[in-house]
Amino acid sequence: METETLTLGAIDTALGRLLVGATEQGVAYLSFKDTPGARARAVTRVGLPVADDPDRTAKAMEGLAAYFGGGSVTFDVPIDWRLTSDLQRTVLTALYERVPYGKVVTYGELDRISGADVGAQAIGQVMGGNPIPVIVPCHRVVAANGLGGYSGGSGVEVKRWLLTLEGSEPATLDWDPAVGP
């Protein structure tokens, strides 16, 4: 039996250098920072030895480059859900498969769409624990009365920036897709 491994790759975006981790099954991890500490956390969190296999992260990197370049609206990459609980997997799979680019849903709506039946607050906690932000678009889940929170990058301004890129949030006059929040 062959040992499973983790391949790490990084890409420069308007939000900074993102770190992507992929196993043989698919993308398992995305961090808003690519630092030695972030790489160590990815390896510890995924719990697999690192392998040099750039082909494994290539499709995710191409998708991210297209997304941040305004050219791609979907990510067609396999996902490895190993870092998620059953509840997270249920909710995040529904989000990944059923909430397209340019659309938003409330925490309560995602609860209904996913069939989780755990309430909006629990859905918010699932979003906060999403190990693959951007690709699994937790930024598209908003509160019934506003944006809600966001634990990715530097917080809610990153969420606002991503929603503006996708056209779900109106751009301010000084908004520039080449410059992050």
Catalytic residues: 138
Beta bridge partners of 143: 146
* Token pair of 121 as six digits: 């607050």
Closest CA to 75 of 129, 148, 140: 140
Q: How far apart (Å, rounded) are the C-alpha atoms in residues 169 and 97?
A: 21
CA-to-CA separations, 72 to 69, 88, 115, in angstroms, rounded: 8, 25, 28
Coil, strand, or helix at residue 137?
coil
Give me the amino acid identity at 80: D
DSSP label of 16: E
